[in-house]
């Protein structure tokens, strides 16, 4: 019995930041950087038009430490997760008491008790609910976490598993960090939340094979450094090159292990790490430039929301209702690649 995707929803915080406005603020805040004029074009080259933030743009001008950032993280993360959960329950025609397990993913803040426990208290979910908080998977967290939720649904047939992911990348901004990584992160990341409900009972596309690969000697490629005033972004310029050189062979190995032919894949829902990563993914998948249309449009409209983004792509592709086999992919710290098949071939066209 394969688990099915019963519901898929997303949410964003209230503040909209146009990319042109972000570039204007960045030019002022990073004025002390000698070659800032050379770096500012990164805002235009991301392919991003706007992003959403849990704080207004004036917040970025001030100084913020761990206490300030953490309170904002917890308050906004729980608000967004509650919004997503209520939408999921409505779509799946379920009540809060119907949820047996909850998997919650986030890597942009720290909360103990964890976000899932805070949501249980906020929404009055069952006291015997099975909880699994996941931290540290970065941009791959949405996909790997979804795979773990599918494992739980498979192990407990008939149970209803609530999967949630939230990332508040805006709160990691550091105005006094003039490193290239911080400036690129400022141009790239946005805030958002998404979720799904899975069960072996119900209607929806089936979850199929899942797999991961972690590159050797790649721990410095992507991640967080812990600074006195908060999390500090770390990622290497080699990421598009790693995708270009290795992604297709890793995908082919995953497909071979699971007896899937590449020609059987009807659609690709890829996490859009950035414009150059999307170029490399399209080349690896033998797609024309712009072939990952939905990934590019999500990047344009929301920016890179880390782990959340691949679920936004899947939602925009309407994978819940399309009679097709979709491959979901994501890349994250480790440095790791994640794959997940979603089979909707038995669904009726809507």
Query: pLDDT confidence of 172, banded at 50, 70, 90?
Result: confident
**Final residue belonging to a domain, choices 199, 224, 256:** 199
pLDDT tens figures, 122-168: 999 999 999 999 999 999 999 999 999 999 999 999 999 999 999 99
Band of residue 83 on the pLDDT scale cut at 50, 70, 90? very high
Q: What is the structure's pLDDT at 235?
A: 76
**Structural domain boundaries, residue 95:** 4-199
Q: Are residues 184 and 264 in the same domain?
A: no
Question: Which of these three, 199, 225, 260, is where a domain ends?
Answer: 199
Q: How many Cβ atoms sit within 10 Å of the Cβ of residue 44?
A: 12
**CA 315 to CA 309: how far, in whole Å?**
10
**Side by side, which strands form the sheet with 161-168?**
130-134, 101-105, 161-168, 191-199, 4-11, 206-214, 336-343, 325-332, 267-270
Output DSSP code: residue 202: S
Regarding whether 127 and 84 lie in a shared domain, the answer is yes
Question: What pLDDT sits at residue 177?
Answer: 73
User: In this structure, is residue 350 part of a structural domain?
Assistant: no
Same domain for 184 and 213?
no
The 10 Å Cβ neighbour count of residue 157 is 11
How far is residue 256's CA from residue 123's CA, in Å, rounded to a whole number?
A: 43
pLDDT for residue 348 is more than 80: no
Are both 193 and 223 inside the same structural domain?
A: no
Run of H or E including 74: helix 66-92
> Which of 149, 168, 199 is the last residue in one of the domains?
199
- Same domain? For 330 and 222 the reply is yes
In a 3-state reduction of DSSP, which class is residue 209?
A: strand
Q: Is residue 221 part of a domain?
A: yes
The reply to whether 222 and 297 lie within a common domain is yes
Does residue 348 fall inside a structural domain?
no
Whether 270 is catalytic: no
**For the chain, what is the mean pLDDT?**
92
Query: Which residue of the set 54, 139, 169, 270 is catalytic?
Result: 139
CATH of the domain at 292: 3.40.47.10
Residues 263 and 114 in one domain: no
Number of structural domains the chain divides into: 2
Q: Are residues 264 and 163 in the same domain?
A: no
**173 and 270 share a domain?**
no
pLDDT of residue 143: 98
Q: pLDDT class for 34, splitting at 50, 70, 90? A: low
300 inside domain: yes
For 39-60, the pLDDT digits (tens) are 778 888 888 999 999 999 989 8
pTM of structure? 0.94
Instruction: Write down how long the chain is.
Output: 350
Shared domain check, 261 and 167? no
pLDDT at 342: 97
H-state helical runs in 93-199: 115-123, 141-155, 180-188
Q: Is 349 among the domain residues?
A: no
pLDDT at 279: 95
- Flag whether pLDDT at 349 surpasses 70: no
Residue 44 lies in a domain: yes
Same domain for 186 and 64: yes
- Beta pairing class for 191-199 and 4-11: antiparallel
Quick one: 248 and 281 in the same domain? Answer: yes
């Amino acid at each position: 019995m394969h688990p099915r995707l019963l519901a898929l929803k997303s949410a964003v915080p209230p503040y909209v930041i146009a990319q042109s406005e972000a570039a204007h603020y960045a030019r002022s805040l990073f004025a002390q950087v000698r070659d800032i004029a050379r770096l500012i074009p990164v805002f235009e080259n991301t392919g991003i038009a706007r992003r959403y933030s849990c704080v207004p743009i004036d917040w970025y001008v001030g100084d913020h430490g761990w206490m300030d950032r953490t309170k904002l993280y917890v308050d906004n993360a729980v608000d967004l997760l509650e919004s997503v959960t209520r939408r999921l329950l409505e779509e799946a025609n379920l009540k809060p008491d119907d949820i047996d397990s909850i998997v919650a993913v986030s890597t942009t803040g720290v909360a103990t008790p964890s976000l899932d426990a805070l949501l249980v208290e906020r929404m009055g979910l069952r006291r015997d609910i099975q909880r699994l908080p996941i931290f540290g998977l970065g941009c791959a967290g949405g996909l790997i976490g979804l795979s773990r939720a599918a494992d739980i649904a498979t192990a407990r047939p008939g149970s209803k598993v609530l999967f949630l992911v939230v990332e508040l990348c805006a709160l990691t901004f550091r105005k006094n960090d003039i490193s290239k990584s911080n400036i690129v992160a400022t141009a790239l990341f946005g805030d958002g939340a998404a979720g799904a409900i899975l069960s072996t009972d119900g209607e929806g596309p089936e979850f199929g094979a899942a797999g991961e690969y972690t590159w050797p000697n790649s721990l410095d490629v992507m991640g967080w450094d812990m600074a006195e005033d908060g999390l500090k972004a770390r990622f290497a310029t080699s990421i598009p090159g790693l995708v270009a050189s290795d992604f297709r062979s890793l995908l082919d190995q995953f497909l071979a292990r699971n007896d899937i032919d590449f020609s059987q894949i009807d659609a690709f829902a890829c996490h859009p790490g950035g414009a150059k990563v999307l170029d490399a993914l399209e080349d690896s998948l033998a797609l024309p430039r712009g072939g990952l249309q939905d990934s590019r449009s999500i990047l344009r409209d929301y920016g890179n929301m880390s782990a959340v983004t691949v679920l936004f792509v899947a939602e925009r592709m309407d994978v819940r209702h399309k009679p097709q086999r979709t491959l979901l992919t994501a890349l994250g710290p480790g440095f790791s690649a994640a794959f997940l098949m979603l089979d909707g071939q038995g669904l009726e066209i809507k």
